[in-house]
Chains A and B, each alone.
Chain A
Amino acid sequence: MVVAITLLLTAAQSCMKWEYGTMEEFRVSESGLFICNEGNFQYGNATLSYYNPETGEVENEIFARANAMKLGDVAQSMVIRDGIGWIVVNNSHIIFAIDINTFREVDRITNIASPRYIHFVSDTKAYVSQIWNNRIYIVNPKTFEITGDIVCPNMTMESGSTEQMVQVGDYVFVNCWSYQNRILKIDTRTDTVVAELTVGIQPTSLTLDRNGKLWTITDGGFAGSPYGFEAPALYCIDPESFTIERQFSFRLGDAPSEIQINGSKECLYWINDDIWAMDISAERLPVRPIIEARGTKYYGLTISPTNGDIYIADAIDYQQQGVIYRYSAEGELKDEFYVGIIPGAFCWK
């Protein structure tokens, strides 16, 4: 019994204090790429890596090294705004704000139930999407406080899922992924959901092309899923009329994800075992991938906005350190490097 109490106290303290070691000095000024390594769910081993595409140098565990504390449990995503990097750490219920040159914590937003992504509406308002929760939080990035929430329609707590957010004018569009099949349209002036569009089962991600059209890609669920299983599809959505303009079907059993777009916003990329690319004006899905799978698990994808290089995160077996592969736009391998466990999201500096 004594043992039990001691262990519980130790566990609780380690969550509260994040003590790690000494604070290392960093000062990067060049452009670069942050990589969020999710780590294993409930193991508190999420990390942040930083890569310099010019020199090929990579620094791992930069958050822990710069701040002498752990990043937390499941680093889901990161965005940069005005020199501040916002790292959403899902199962630590926290969003860290860091200086993107020193990696030092500036401040934090705490007590967010299950955050996934953050989207800035203005300097004083941002939305935070969530999973297992039917609310999108409204936060004030200046005061680091939660100021309100947006209740999403037809979503219970358990089936709640809001993911990536894309803004067109006064409206923010968000894809609802886990056990959902919708894109929601939020009026940022009233912070309310004003419309919803049904797509296929589980839209995974969302992006915007040069013509102002939204693109989402569903994963179709999985065999035996109580929510259903269907052939996934790529959708082109007109945000103005909020209707599906074009739809491209995959084969049943495919599981595409991670829709991305290049710097000129005219070429789409996604993961479907392999890496695929498609011009936004294409009339059909490509028949051949641009980069083939290596027998491991491609888990994250980003395209350099400046030179079109393709960066692929390989989670390997979800246990060991993941690898990032960097390819040219033409599909030639240029670099590869180890990062942390389960690299999933990228953020360009």
Chain B
Amino acid sequence: MKRLFIALFIALTTLSCNKDGVIRAEGGVPQITLDNPTAVYSVKVGNSITINPTYTYTDENTVYNWSIDGVTVCTDPQFTYKANISGQIYITIEVANTYGTDSEVIRVDVSDIEIPTITLAAPEQISFVVGSLYTFTTSLKQTSLKTDIVWTLNDKVVGDQRSYLFTAQSAGVYILTVTATNSDGKHSDSIEITVLNAEDMPFIWEFESDMLHGVVGREVVIKPTKVSGHQNVDYYWLSLNQPQDSSRENYYKYTPQTTGRHTIKANASTIIGSQTIATSLIFTLDVYEEGQFVRPATNSSASQCNKVYEYTPAPGQFIGDNYTASTPTQACEVALQRMQQGLYISLGGFGGYIVVGFDHSISNGEGYDFAVAGNSFGTSSEPGIVWVMQDENGDGKPNDTWYELAGSETGKEGTVRDYEVTYYRPNGAGMDVLWVDNMGNSGTIDYLPTYHKQEYYYPQWIEADSYTLRGTLIKARNYDKYGNGAMWIQPPYDWGYADNYSSSDRLADGEGSENNAMPNGLDISNAIDHSGKSIKLDFIDFVKVQTACNTKSGWLGENSTEIFAIYSL
């Protein structure tokens, strides 16, 4: 009853001003009511949005003014905004009559079209022998839209999951395509698969270089970087200088006894089908005396490394975060600058590494010879394996033999030497980075937009769309403390690693230092050769630090070695 009375009262008073029933300007100051109560409108790039407020107390003399950055863009009661670029646009609507004005500020959030992006973890061309099985994995950029996945093999639909198990049934060329589709669009990635009968598989026996060098009395290993899986291959290695040291393996272990140039011949022959395939290679090995090129430290020598020769991290959340580098040279410069400024360098996930040199040779003395400062603390160790190299040929470049420094995990179960991980560049920004290892595993370096918003975690100075990192894997120890994902613990290892909160080789002067750097002491005497045998090095010239675990810790992301400094002691 009361409500009805009020309504009647309003109707009567309104009518008294507006005899024809229309609310006129003389009713009072105009008021804007937006058609979206949050005043925040959303539209995708390329589309338009019409903002259609309702107004009170308006008539033909009412003035409407829509403006962006103080510039009038429309004088109608409604405004249509055409979104050309993504971002936030602030629009002011002001309405005025003779009694006064009202205004509102509106935001239009213009977002990019969310076409999905999918990446297949594989090279553009891949070959299999009939009977092979291979699981292809994908990385999909997260969007706010529901996305469907379809796999086709030569246009025939074969799957709808994120991964696909390919069976090489019969010889031929196949196009495998994976397509992700959502309401904004679709995106595909394809590869060409060649399936060959066993007898048609090409014979491959490839080496990184045929120009080698070494030190007299020290074993050299000449190992193929790629070798096909053919059976019944007849390999034969012969040194013209030491003909007694021949071998019938597909690699060659050779200990030169004299300085000077050694010539090594390598032959491989096999019968494939009815054809005999023969390959002949010649290697030259220049042999020097150990110590021939040593650069002893002087009073003016700097303990800190003075050059970064290579900075090739694995993908990771800190890669390209707060710095840019578009060539390998720039990456080295950035890495050195950051160390000089007391900032950390991240090596990313497994296998990522940095190679540094010094203005002097570091001699192998009593105890620790040099230190690597990392960012470990009580519950966070992200171990990096440390490698050392002598400048055997005195050319000032780290093109000699790397020797791993043994640590507490050397020789233990779960430690894998010659472990390889291949990382694949994502097809779009903001995506996980896929990896496949040489043990049949695959996974991702996760994109973590909450913490690290740079577009790509794949190093932008690496031109290739995939790259393989090789090294020694140690078993991960990280765990989710409470089982709810909230707190991840990355416990330390006993000794022998960088970025490791070791209770034995952590140097005390790292406690509470300005930049939180926590050094680990390293001893050249722990060097081991490719066979795992201890090797005596009187001095070293180059140091490589390489992320040793292939694991991730929930929201903390991938386990990655970080370093602040590398310096002689």
Contacts and interface: CB of A to CB of B under 8 A. Distances in A.
A4 interface: yes
Which of A70, A179, A226 is most buried by chain B, counting CB atoms within 10 A of its CB? A226
Is chain B's interface secondary structure helix, strand, loop, or mixed overall?
loop
B499 to A, nearest CB: 14
Interface string A126-153: 0000001000000000000000000000
Interface in B469-487: 481-482, 484-487
B145 interface: no
A45 B508 CA distance: 15
Interface residues of B, number: 38
A227 B484 contact: yes
Contact of B516 (A4, A14, A43, A284): A43
B105 interface: yes
B484 A158 contact: yes
B482 A159 contact: yes
B344 interface: yes
Nearest to A283: B37
A43 B343 contact: no
A287 B106 contact: yes
Given A7-B503, A7-B508, A319 B344 contact: yes
B344 A226 contact: no
B157 to A, nearest CB: 30
A317 B322 contact: yes
A179 B480 CA distance: 14
B377 A41 contact: yes
B39 interface: yes
Contacts, number: 86
Contacts of A223: 142, 449-450
Q: How large is the interface on A (under 10, 10 to 19, 20 to 34, 35 or more residues)?
A: 35 or more
A11 to B, nearest CB: 7
Contacts of A222: 450, 555
A233 to B, nearest CB: 12
A4 B107 contact: no
A4 B504 contact: yes
B281 to A, nearest CB: 49
Contact of A4 (B40, B482, B503, B511): B503
Contacts of A224: 446, 554-555
Which of B107, B486, B515 is most buried by chain A, counting CB atoms within 10 A of its CB? B486
Nearest to B34: A284
Interface in B326-357: 343-344
Contacts of A8: 503
Contacts of A45: 512, 516
Interface string A1-22: 1011001101100100000000
A226 B554 CA distance: 10
Nearest first, the 7 closest Cβ-Cβ pairs linking A and B are A158-B482, A226-B485, A287-B107, A42-B377, A4-B504, A222-B450, A42-B378
Given A253-B449, A287-B90, 14 more contacts: A10-B511, A11-B511, A14-B511, A42-B379, A44-B511, A158-B486, A158-B487, A179-B486, A226-B484, A284-B37, A285-B40, A287-B38, A287-B105, A288-B90
